[in-house]
Structure 1
């Protein structure tokens, strides 16, 4: 009986261990900051990684192979010798392509205002209902954004509940005085990225993410039908407001996807490649140089 009870507790423990959504790799750098010791940096790196990997950001359970691969490269620019850090971060996430070893990028975003306070040896607490600290808010915001984009790639507009959770983090953090949470803090910040993904103006882009991944990339290993699905999804993007193409969401998305889209669609015949090129050149003129490969 005791053995069965212990085995039951182990199963519960394993269930909790495998329930989380993220498989985050965290790298903390401080190349220009001489007063931070290596042990301090490594301890903070582990604390951030534990926050991302051990907290639950949804009510769903993820199997180990379903957890979302993501990378946080945080560069500390200065430290006041106490709890104050000024930093910037590069946040990247990806999802696997069905029946292949390839991972396709979903998010590759630079955050120049990743400043936070942290006392050495403390934990980072999580709450989606209260503002605790800027580091907690930053990590939670990106966790919800990563999950939202992943959901969008598997079901049409499936990420909306998570983008709304990220929006709630924004609302809670706006009184903190930290930069990046308000509309007035610039056009390429956390506020505007979240505003974009929830704005109906960009619904075609979110629908494209679904079609591109689930109906496109995920089908390529079995047949070439996926190529046609990707091309047929492009015209909807031409309906987006051209004045909005410079906004942060399409800008970040296409900057990370243009090269991959070109490589995938290069398998089309010459006429179809030119058709795809013309549409992409109109949809994403900022990356037209990357699409030139479709003209060859």
Structure 2
């Protein structure tokens, strides 16, 4: 009987090792600007947030270890408001592997400047999607769902809808929060507008672009370089249509903060007529990076295994 029990424990441990959680999230907390406080609290916060993001089950799907979604969260704490309240910013980055290559493409690179939270060392980090209990876990869970939704969108048309809806539910629950970042009137670029834009049918071309750019474009380029690049060029037309209706939505800086350099690398190896078409679109919908896009005119081969 003891031997059977031991074998059962080994089986359960092996099974849990094979079926991993969804995220492989690197979490970093920096508080170099805050002086005169025990630094252990920041190390404990980092460890707690790492466990919260990586050890929680965010979906009903089964993941293998090598399928986990690669992401980074960097928290910069600038001010200590009280013994357990901190203010700063949070940067969220999401990477996605490209099929049949060693290249990883950036899907998200967002800086959230409205990061004001309470954290008490050694207290459990509770989260409930149906209530507004804690701003810190609400923010972390919100971006966990945004990360998963964006990753799913890049593999299937509007595949991330369920997770964007969960992110929006957190926004809705936070409308009575005393903390900024959750309400429409506070800013045009915050968590409220990120969830709203992603689920707004008027901007569905953005999500169509995410799928076409990655699944039909980048994932094809290792085998059919020109075909994949052509799909990426066509995906930009979808963004262009959205831009002509609503040029100032939050989705555009989010996309180009992640993709501007990559687009230069992809299309600098293209032929002249395609370069001209892409440059015309990019200069219209992302004029702030116009000088960067001039590099597309140069000739440079995009190699998925050496980027």
TM range (shorter): over 0.9
Superimposed CA distance per residue, residues 137-186 of structure 1 (whole angstroms, 9 cap, x where no aligned partner): 00000000000000010001111110000000111122121110110111
Structure 2 equivalent of residue 279 of structure 1: 281
After superposition, the Cα gap between the structure-2 partners of 1:248 and 1:14, relative to the gap in structure 1 and judged at 3 Å, is farther
Q: Which residue in the other structure is 2:249 paired with? A: 247
Query: Counterpart in 1 of 2:265?
Result: 263
**Structure 2 unaligned runs (5+)?**
299-307
How many residues are aligned here? 296
For the residue of structure 2 that corresponds to 1:24, the secondary structure is strand
Q: Take 1:8 and 1:283, find their aligned partners in 2: how far apart are those partners? A: 58
Q: State the secondary structure of the residue aligned to 1:267.
A: coil
Q: State the shift of 1:114 in Å.
A: 1.0
Tell me which residue corresponds to 1:146.
147
Say if 2:188 and 2:250, in contact at 8 Å, map to a contact too.
yes
2: CA distance, partners of 1:97 / 1:12: 32
Q: Secondary structure of the residue that 2:208 maps to in structure 1?
A: helix
Give a deviation string over 1:75-120, Cα, whole Å, max 9, x none: 1112245211112111111111112222111111111111111111
Corresponding position of 2:36 = 35
Which of 292, 295, 302 is 1:290 aligned to? 292
User: Does the Cα contact within 8 Å between 1:152 and 1:158 map onto a contact in 2?
Assistant: yes
The 5 Å alignment of 1:160-175 reads 160-175=161-176
Give yes or no for contact 2:125–2:137 (8 Å, CA) kept in 1: yes
Using structure 1 for the length normalisation, give the TM-score: 0.94
- Contact 1:25–1:72 at 8 Å: present in 2 too? yes
Q: Give 1:1-296 correspondences, 5 Å limit.
A: 2-17=2-17, 18-224=19-225, 225-242=227-244, 244-296=246-298
| Aligned-residue CA RMSD (Å) | 1.7
Q: State the Cα distance separating 1:5 from its structure 2 match.
A: 4.2
- Give the drift of 1:265: 1.7
SS in 2 for 1:46: helix
Identify if the C-alpha distance between structure 1 residues 11 and 132 changes in structure 2 by more than 3 Å, giving closer, same or farther: farther
Within 1, Cα distance between the matches of 2:129 and 2:63? Answer: 20
8 Å Cα contact 2:243-2:285 kept in structure 1? no
Unaligned runs of 5+ in 1: none
**TM-score normalised by L of structure 2:** 0.91
- Note closer, same or farther for the CA distance 1:38–1:286 as it changes in structure 2 (3 Å cut): same
Q: 1:19 offset after TM fit, Å?
A: 3.2
Matched residue of 1:113: which SS? strand
1:191 & 1:252 partners in 2: Cα distance?
14
Q: Distance in 2 between matches of 1:85 and 1:254?
A: 30
